[in-house]
Amino acid sequence: MSLLDIRNLTTRISTSRGVMNVVEDVSFTVEPGECFGIVGESGSGKSMTCRSILGLLSKSGSATGAAWFEGQDLLTLKSGALEQIRGRQIAMIVQDAASALNPVVRIGTQIAEAMVQHGLVSSKAEARQRSLDLMSKVGIPAAEGRIDDYPHQFSGGMCQRVVIAAALSCSPKLIIADEPTTALDVTIQDQILRLLVALQAEFGMSLILVTHDMGVVAQTCQRVAVMYGGELVEMADTASLFRTPRHPYTMGLLNCVPHLDRDVGTARLRPIPGAPPDLMNPPAGCRFHPRCPLANDACKSTRPPLREVAAGHFSRCLRQDVLGEEIWTAESARA
Amino acid sequence: MHDPSQPSALRPLVEVDDLTKSFGARGGLSQILGAASQRQLIAVDAVSFQINAGEILGLVGESGSGKTTLGRCLLRLVEPSSGQVRFDGRDLISLSKGDLRVARRQMQMIFQDPYSALNPRMTIRQMLSEVLRFHRICTDAAIPARIAELLALVGLDQSAADRLPRHFSGGQRQRIGIARALAVEPRFIVADEPVSAVDVSVQAQIMNLLLDLRDQLGLTILLIAHDLSVVRYVSDRVGVLYLGRLVEIAPRAQIFAAPRHPYTQALLRAAPRPDPDRHPTQPAIAGEPPSPLNPPPGCHFHTRCPLATSRCKSEMPQLQTVSDGHQVRCHHHDLALLNPLPR
Amino acid sequence: MTSQVRRQARPSRMAQMGGLISGAAILTVILLASLLASHLIPYDPIEQNLRDTLQPPSLAHLFGTDNFGRDIFARVLHAAKLDLMIGFLCVVFPWMLGLALGGIAGYFGGLADTLIMRTVDTFTAFPFLIMVIGVIAIMGPGLFGMYVALTMAGWSIYARIVRAEVLVIKKSEYILAARSLGYGHGRILLRHVIPNVVTPTIIFAMTDMVLVILSTTSLSFLGLGVQPPTPEWGVMIAEGRGFILSAWWMVTLPGLAVVLVGVALSLFGDGIARILREGSQA
């Protein structure tokens, strides 16, 4: 029984220019204790998906479909019921930790806030003790001396640890981390990711990790979904996705990212030509077809369904059976 | 001092000697106000290196390393506190305002944030025309043709000329910024994190463009980045900065195959790779970078270094040459060589 | 299984533009009427006609006549021309002054900033009416004195707004790019900084114009601004003070004119502000 079961999630945003579907018919599951990665570029809909699940859309947004969590469809819950779940069963970590914290409230208070809100602590002393425990768990040194500090006294990496501590405070079953390390230096990013994985194992939580960095998902997640233009285009376990990608976009991404461990000599990287689609006017048929070397007439007119092309491996490409490395050679080198 | 990795006797195009930039008040009113306000931030600490003509030097560092300030000092967009910057043998720091304006034609900058790098109220044509006219690059009649050439050079459609920046994507804006830099026909470009703010699928386009500019126009480029894989792809030589100091510099192959500074090794270990078989459980390096306002004595890195000894805490290491073109600032660089990198 | 769709009513484009259009329409009508006043209405606004004093509104005199027999409608229209012009000029002058000084203060910083902003502080410290009365006391009552007084009272807020915007723009990378291209300070300030800071000032100026017109009418009401017999709404309201019960049209109708112009300017200003804000989103 999956912990989170998202079915046909579609999110619409109305803007002054019209309505656009920022998330289009997305379905996936997250198992208990699993680290599930969602990878995509800007405009892929990965952040909007997370916000839709937790009902954190702005007034101009609306979500249809279903998000089953512990027998309830989150999308049908009223705000009172949703508030019971947020912070308690499902917690969220966002990209800019420093702005996620209230600058005029002490760190200890902010970490304990969710526990107090959900009635999990009975006294101020208990809240304080739990905050201290959490701070040590997330690796904040000398917690006793720092619990009364304010966010501006912490560095970016430390602020993110505080946010993680707050997220953990009610022992949620699921943490959604939306680009938690994008704004951090690479050595700090490394520390935070190892911390998240260790905590996940220790607390037995599931983790949805949203990022644009293929390297991060490769090293951290068990299963990965790739999003493009609001759609989920490929989903598989990590090893299969990276070794045998079954969507031209995934393959293109893997080919256009420079390698850290080897020189390419005089060979050039093969960029994906063009740019991500305008969601106000998405391309007909497959949203990737304007940039795809394999696109044929069917691709331009029919919206491909998400099909299981191998065990546990899903792809939204009509032509994935003819997919090979060579499609990205002569075509895209012209970019 | 010529770069020994270049066998030719040509002088390097850019020479940086003991360049230092510090921020913060010294003396005067701040002395009256008290010690706290006298704290200095030494953003760039006696950095020296050279860049040969037609070469791309990649400078890597995390936040607080001073790499952006260094790039701006080279162009005198920020006035260095001390040290020398020589361009083609000529000292830039002592140039008068008028001479500097002329010299500015030779060196340009590409900025990190494509959403802030273009004047939102000027069309591309207006922006490029202003550059061409101001520097008298060509006659007024030749301007439209020159603009067309520049757009083609960076891979943009001709229709882009009469649009405002807000109609373009991040990658396209970055190209426009490159076109603006190229309009003055510079010999040297400082590229400050040119791909950090751009989508992954577009990064390769910009990186390839920079390589093309080196190959086709013979441009010399200082590439400032925090992403090691970008630096590996684009650079000929690589330098590593930590808290304002240059800690290692070497030709590309060497620095990635056999890094000799523990910080460089940590950076390489920490960087994520799209390799599903790699599952590090321990972080590459513990601890936070020290505050630039209060750097540790001796070697700045000793607070986080697995090889640190008491000597490291008190004595700042000098930059030593360990092999052809490879310099390291570490007392224990021999030990670092023996320290295997779990890749 | 579909969920409840949370939808929020969003004003349609037409509704948003409605304010702008109606405001603009009213202003256009008033402006045209005031410019063509002498052609539209046979009555002279100043000439007295003591046989027809204090006539209520009728077909012959749309707004009635005042205690000197002057046609009030003609006077209201002529006053419109004057009040709108004062409103416009007493916004434009402070705007230009504030733009220049605020721009210099923000861009150059240092001594220029200190000198200019302390001057701004000084001007701001004076209560509006004190400053205006003081200036008029020195210059004597009349139109010119009012221009000077309102400009002196109004420029400092523009300088503040501009300086704040310039401080932000100064950090943009395109300004750094302009410096790296060798452009001088003058060029950068005029061609790159000022055009990007103008928008908030225009948005503010729209509101300011309403306030200026209200100030003008108030000052004239107090006898400090426009002097009788020149028709001006405030003057007319002052003249009608003694006749509020017997000839209500003398006070009420000019007063309504003030309100109408104020509302029209506000609607128009809001509409312009919205358009400018959308347009300046990079």
High-pLDDT (> 90) share of chain B, %: 67
Residue B119 and residue C196: Cβ atoms within 8 Å? Answer: yes
SS3 A17: coil
Instruction: Flag whether pLDDT at B342 surpasses 70.
Output: no
Residue B280 and residue A158: Cβ atoms within 8 Å? Answer: no
b/e map C243-252, b = 16+ CB within 10 Å = eeeebebbbe
d(CA A158, CA A195): 12
Residue B180 and residue C179: Cβ atoms within 8 Å? Answer: no
Considering only the beta carbons, identify the residue of A189, A194, A335 that sits closest to B281.
Answer: A194
CA of B270 to nearest chain A CA: how many angstroms apart?
Answer: 5
Per the structure block, which two tokens stand in for B202? 């577009």
CA of B279 to nearest chain C CA: how many angstroms apart?
Answer: 39
Please list the residues that pair with C218 across neighbouring strands: none
Asked whether the beta carbons of C195 and B121 are under 8 A apart, the reply is yes
d(CA A233, CA A313): 11
Residue C11's pLDDT band (cuts 50, 70, 90)? low
Quickly list DSSP for B251-319: EHHHHHHS--SHHHHHHHHHS--S-TT----S-SS-SPPPPTTSPPSSSGGGGG-TT--HHHHHSPPPP
CA of A52 to nearest chain C CA: how many angstroms apart?
Answer: 12
How many domains, chain C? 1
In this structure, which amino acid lies at residue A315? Answer: S
High-pLDDT (> 90) share of chain A, %: 64
B122 contact residues in C (CB cutoff 8 A): 192
Residue C176's pLDDT band (cuts 50, 70, 90)? very high
Instruction: Flag whether pLDDT at B340 surpasses 50.
Output: yes
pLDDT 10s digits, A60-70: 899 999 999 98
d(CA B192, CA B108): 11
Residues 151-210, chain C, touching B (beta carbon < 8 A): 172-174, 176-184, 187, 191-192, 195-196
Quickly list DSSP for B86-111: EETTEESTT--HHHHHHHGGGEEEE-
Per the structure block, which two tokens stand in for A333? 């080198």
What's the pLDDT at C280?
62
Residue B107's pLDDT band (cuts 50, 70, 90)? very high
Residue A66 and residue C3: Cβ atoms within 8 Å? Answer: yes
Per the structure block, which two tokens stand in for A59? 């007034």
A29 interfacial to chain B (CB closer than 8 Å): no
B126 interfacial to chain C (CB closer than 8 Å): no
Instruction: Choose between C246 and B176: higher pLDDT.
Output: B176
- How many CB pairs below 8 Å do chains B and C form together? 58
Considering only the beta carbons, identify the residue of B77, B104, B134 that sits closest to C176.
Answer: B77
pLDDT 10s digits, A257-312: 888 888 777 788 888 888 888 888 899 999 999 999 888 899 999 999 999 999 99
The residues, ordered by sequence, that sit 6+ positions from A67 with a Cβ below 8 Å of its Cβ are A4, A5, A6, A7, A9, A52, A53, A73, A74, A75
Instruction: Choose between A276 and B219: higher pLDDT.
Output: B219
d(CA C248, CA B343): 92
Residue B131 and residue C181: Cβ atoms within 8 Å? Answer: yes
> Given a contact as 3+ CB pairs under 8 Å, which chains touch B?
A, C
B307 interfacial to chain C (CB closer than 8 Å): no
For residue C152, the domain's CATH number is: 1.10.3720.10
How do the residues of chain A divide into helix, strand and coil, expressed in percent and rounded to 5?
35, 25, 40
Written out in words, the top-level CATH class of the domain with range A54-61+71-222 is alpha beta
| Residue whose tokens read 């400090």 | C224
Residue A147's pLDDT band (cuts 50, 70, 90)? very high
Residue A223's pLDDT band (cuts 50, 70, 90)? very high
Mutate: best of B68, B116, B189, partner C, most C CBs <10 A: B116
- How many CB pairs below 8 Å do chains A and B form together? 154
Residue B116 and residue C181: Cβ atoms within 8 Å? Answer: no
How far is the CA of C227 from the CAs of A74, A115, C48, C222, in angstroms? Answer: 71, 71, 16, 10
C62-70 contact pairs (CB < 8 A, 24+): C63/C249, C63/C253, C64/C247, C64/C249, C64/C250, C64/C253, C66/C236, C66/C239, C66/C240, C66/C243, C66/C247, C66/C250, C67/C239, C67/C242, C67/C243, C67/C247, C67/C250, C70/C43, C70/C44, C70/C45, C70/C46
Backbone angles phi, psi at C65, to 5 degrees: -125, 165
Give me the residue spans of the domains in chain B: 54-80+96-235, 250-271+292-343
d(CA A167, CA A115): 10
H or E stretch including B323?
A: strand B320-323
A2 interfacial to chain B (CB closer than 8 Å): no
B54-80+96-235, CATH topology level: Rossmann fold (3.40.50)
Among C68, C44, C61, C59, CA closest to C240: C68
Instruction: Flag whether pLDDT at C9 surpasses 50.
Output: no
Instruction: Flag whether pLDDT at A161 surpasses 80.
Output: yes
How far is the CA of C125 from the CAs of C101, C128, C268, in angstroms? Answer: 18, 9, 31
High-pLDDT (> 90) share of chain C, %: 31
Mutate: best of A209, A238, A260, partner B, most B CBs <10 A: A260
Instruction: Flag whether pLDDT at B76 surpasses 90.
Output: yes
A152 interfacial to chain B (CB closer than 8 Å): no
What's the pLDDT at B250?
96
pLDDT 10s digits, C52-92: 788 888 888 888 888 888 888 888 888 888 888 998 999 99
Reported ipTM: 0.87
Residue B120 and residue C182: Cβ atoms within 8 Å? Answer: no
Residue A227's pLDDT band (cuts 50, 70, 90)? very high
pLDDT 10s digits, A181-203: 988 889 999 999 999 999 999 99
C78 domain-assigned: yes
Instruction: Flag whether pLDDT at A162 surpasses 90.
Output: yes
Instruction: Flag whether pLDDT at C217 surpasses 50.
Output: yes
Considering only the beta carbons, identify the residue of B101, B113, B122 that sits closest to C173.
Answer: B113
What's the pLDDT at A332?
43
C244 domain-assigned: yes
Highest mean pLDDT, choosing among A246-250, B291-295, C29-33, C51-55: A246-250
B63 interfacial to chain C (CB closer than 8 Å): no
Residues 230-249, chain B, touching C (beta carbon < 8 A): none
A76 contact residues in C (CB cutoff 8 A): 3-4
B117 contact residues in C (CB cutoff 8 A): 172-174, 177
The mean predicted confidence, pLDDT, of chain A is 90
Domain with CATH 3.40.50.300 in chain A: 54-61+71-222
SS3 C196: helix
B272 contact residues in A (CB cutoff 8 A): 189-190, 193, 213, 215-216, 218-219
CA of B81 to nearest chain A CA: how many angstroms apart?
Answer: 27
What's the pLDDT at A334?
40
Domain boundaries, position C185: 59-279
What's the pLDDT at C249?
87
What's the pLDDT at B10?
65
CA of C13 to nearest chain A CA: how many angstroms apart?
Answer: 8
**Per-residue pLDDT averaged across B284-295, rounded?**
87
Instruction: Choose between C9 and B5: higher pLDDT.
Output: B5
Backbone angles phi, psi at A33, to 5 degrees: 75, 10
Instruction: Choose between C10 and C123: higher pLDDT.
Output: C123
The rounded radius of gyration (Å) of the Cα atoms in chain C is 23
Instruction: Flag whether pLDDT at B119 surpasses 90.
Output: yes
What's the pLDDT at C118?
96
Instruction: Flag whether pLDDT at B73 surpasses 90.
Output: yes
Asked whether the beta carbons of B221 and B214 are under 8 A apart, the reply is yes
> Given a contact as 3+ CB pairs under 8 Å, which chains touch A?
B, C
| Residue whose tokens read 């200003």 | C269
What's the pLDDT at B25?
56
B115 interfacial to chain C (CB closer than 8 Å): yes
